[in-house]
Amino acid sequence: MTLGMGMAATTYFIFLLVPVLILWYIYWRIKHQHMIDLAEQFPGPKGYPLIGNALLTVGSPHEMFKTALYLASEYHNIGRAWLGPRLVIGLADPRDVEIILSSHEHIEKAVEYKFFKPWFGNGLLISSGTTWKAHRKLIAPTFHLNILKGFIDLFNANSREVVKKLRQENGKTFDCHDHLSEATVEILLETVMGVSKKTQGKSGYDYAMAVMKMCAILHIRQVKIWLRPDWIFKFTTYQETQKKLLAMIHSLTEKVFEKKRKAFEDGIRGSLANVPEDILRKDVSVPDENIIENPLDGTMMFGQSVGIKDDLDGDVNVGDKKRYPFLETLIEAAKSGTQLTEEEVKNQVSTIMFEGHDTTAAASSFFLCLMGAHPDVQEKVHQEMYAIFGNSDRPVTYSDTLEMKYLERCLLETLRLYPPVPLIARKINQDVKLASGNYTVPAGCTVIIGTYVLHRNPDIYTNPDEFNPDNFLPERCIKRPYYAFIPFSAGPRGCVGRKYAILKLKVLLATIMRNFVVKSDASESEYKLQADIILKRQEGFKIRLEPKHLIS
Ligand code: HEM
């Protein structure tokens, strides 16, 4: 009897639900007719009513990555998909990419970034409007090259510590990403945050792991549309895990902020980290200031084409003003209370700790794997290191980094083939006419720029899947469209840590390459890449290291 009543109630409910869904669907179509019409112009897979192409997001991160690549090749750099009621337009033609990224109109992040909010609050990566503008204006000068040059000692000291740890792996096959993510967390703490890495009480590795797990949860929410609504998410185990991870991540933010605030109030300026005597340059107040920043003969400036200028380029007018690194500047601004609050400073700390570590950890891990997979290229890097340093184990100087032309080409080629941020997404608030064909992106949709696909466009790069550092010879760079290589994004919302990342990676990778020969059993075709917020190898970044015998 009870079972019969239960079944009747369920049948009744379904009878009611079906017409409600049909009515809602009709209403939704009428309301979004303009968007639907414009979407029809774009090629794309056939979808189902209500769910659209949401089934494409089923599968493991590696399977999703393969699906995305299949769609990109099928629809040749332009296409659309419906994730339920959300229209997503994928672009990978440099002409279209330029229209979106160079604009001051299309700077709002896509709704998919909102899942970062409990982590970053209104931090720079996800904020918008006047808050973003004001904070960007405050933060960009703290990544000015003259401030970054002052970090060279700390880059050296931490790179040497990485080498010490790597020596313990001698001859074994191991995942280099573990060591590199620990190191990048610690370097960030000691440079832009200006505190000792001991501040956190644990190793950078624990923090890095918590960040990786958080990213996995956020990514699941971005692609599995049924997990998007908060009222569903909170019934999943992900919610509980997210809470614990955020508690761990935010406790580091809190400690860093308190430590630095106290030091600032006590009148202490500069990093609280110790630099060993043998690395310390005597006069860090004028660190290599007169050296001209022009590392790739004027065709590529710290990972960006010279034709693209942003607020990190040229002479940011710091003049006589105090030049404080990132966290000191923000603490000072919070004290005046006009530009941002203490809570907002903490949001920026969380943002930079994420953006600044996982990206560079992925870039350096891919770099080492590629060295192992291409011994002929590695040999040339070793020769360059010998030409610069000979048999000396002296620390790297800023002018040395300008001499590392071949290593730089290898690094840029790594970022081309394996861009740590493989997708960039924007919310489009007004119709946008594209340049590559007769397409108009409708207002209200999400545009996804597929950096990974863009960087492997056969119309731009001959043998696009081949690792060839000569792709970054000045004469080749100059012939390419500016927006054909954008590992750091570009335009007003380009990466604020671009110059920091390139400088740090050069010191770190040069120090590793001076000490080791990298071996790898896996060829590139065996890499299982996974769709994630940051690009990774699903099987880990496995390499072996052999000590480098200095040439005599
Ligand atoms: C190889 C290393 C790096 C790569 C490939 C990279 C890439 C990117 C990309 C593609 C964006 C745009 C993201 C989007 O629009 O969704 C971005 C933004 C950003 N990056 Fe990086 N990044 C790197 C290192 C860093 C470092 C070291 C820092 C800080 C220390 C940093 C801080 C930021 C911030 C704060 C933003 C947001 C900027 C804004 O919206 O105004 N990044 N990065």
For residue 162, give the CATH number of its domain.
1.10.630.10
Residue of the CA atom closest to atom 15 of ligand 1:
424
pLDDT of residue 288: 54
Tell me the torsion sign for CA atoms 346, 309, 93, 444: positive
Residues 418-477 pLDDT 10s: 999 999 999 999 999 999 999 999 999 999 999 999 999 999 999 999 999 999 999 999
Q: Is any ligand 1 atom within 6 A of the Cβ of residue 365?
A: no
Measured CA to CA, the distance from residue 44 to residue 63 in angstroms comes to 19
**Residue 105 Cα to chain centre, angstroms:** 22
Residue 295 lies in a domain: no
Residues 34-61 pLDDT 10s: 999 999 999 999 988 888 888 888 888 7
Task: Kindly give the number of the ligand 1 atom that is closest to the alpha carbon of 351.
Answer: 35
Residue 448 lies in a domain: yes
Residue 286 lies in a domain: no
Better-scored residue on pLDDT, 281 or 409:
409
273 has a pLDDT exceeding 60: yes
Measured CA to CA, the distance from residue 448 to residue 485 in angstroms comes to 16
Q: Is any ligand 1 atom within 6 A of the Cβ of residue 64?
A: no
Residue 390 lies in a domain: yes
Q: Is any ligand 1 atom within 6 A of the Cβ of residue 487?
A: yes
Q: Is any ligand 1 atom within 6 A of the Cβ of residue 500?
A: yes
Pocket test for ligand 1, best of 355, 368, 408 (most atoms within 8 A of CB): 355
Is 495 annotated as ligand-binding?
yes
Residue of the CA atom closest to atom 3 of ligand 1:
359
Better-scored residue on pLDDT, 315 or 140:
140
Determine the distance separating the centroid of ligand 1 and the alpha carbon of 100, expressed in angstroms.
Answer: 17
Residue 422 lies in a domain: yes
**For all residues of the chain together, what is the average pLDDT?**
89
Q: Is any ligand 1 atom within 6 A of the Cβ of residue 417?
A: no
Determine the distance separating the centroid of ligand 1 and the alpha carbon of 501, expressed in angstroms.
Answer: 9
Residue of the CA atom closest to atom 20 of ligand 1:
495
Measured CA to CA, the distance from residue 54 to residue 41 in angstroms comes to 20
Task: Kindly give the number of the ligand 1 atom that is closest to the alpha carbon of 363.
Answer: 1
Domain span including residue 78: 27-277+303-314+322-547
Residue 11 lies in a domain: no
Residue 183 lies in a domain: yes
Residue of the CA atom closest to atom 31 of ligand 1:
497
- Among residues 310, 546, 491, 514, the alpha carbon closest in space to that of 393 is found at 514
Residue of the CA atom closest to atom 41 of ligand 1:
493
Residue of the CA atom closest to atom 30 of ligand 1:
356
Q: 272-276, 358-362, 441-445: which has the minimum mean pLDDT? A: 272-276
- Among residues 501, 423, 504, 399, the alpha carbon closest in space to that of 101 is found at 423
CA angle 534, 540, 545 (to 5 degrees): 120
Q: Is any ligand 1 atom within 6 A of the Cβ of residue 304?
A: no
Residue 261 lies in a domain: yes
Structure tokens at 510: 């040069």
User: What is the ipTM, given to two decimal places?
Assistant: 0.99
Checking 59-64 for CB contacts under 8 A at 24+ apart, the result is: 60/530, 60/538, 61/219, 61/530, 61/531, 61/532, 61/538, 62/528, 62/529, 62/530, 62/531, 62/538, 64/223, 64/530, 64/531
What pTM, to 2 d.p., does this model score?
A: 0.91
Secondary element (H or E) of residue 542:
strand 542-547
Cβ-based burial of 135 (10 A; exposed 0-12, middle 13-18, buried ≥19): buried
Pairing of strands 542-547, 516-519: antiparallel
What's the mean pLDDT in 280-305?
62
Determine the distance separating the centroid of ligand 1 and the alpha carbon of 387, expressed in angstroms.
Answer: 32
What's the total number of domains in the chain? 1
Residue of the CA atom closest to atom 27 of ligand 1:
356
Partners of residue 48 on adjacent β-strands: 52
Measured CA to CA, the distance from residue 334 to residue 450 in angstroms comes to 37
Q: Is any ligand 1 atom within 6 A of the Cβ of residue 356?
A: yes
Please check whether residue 484 is in contact with residue 457, taking contact to mean a CB–CB distance below 8 angstroms.
yes
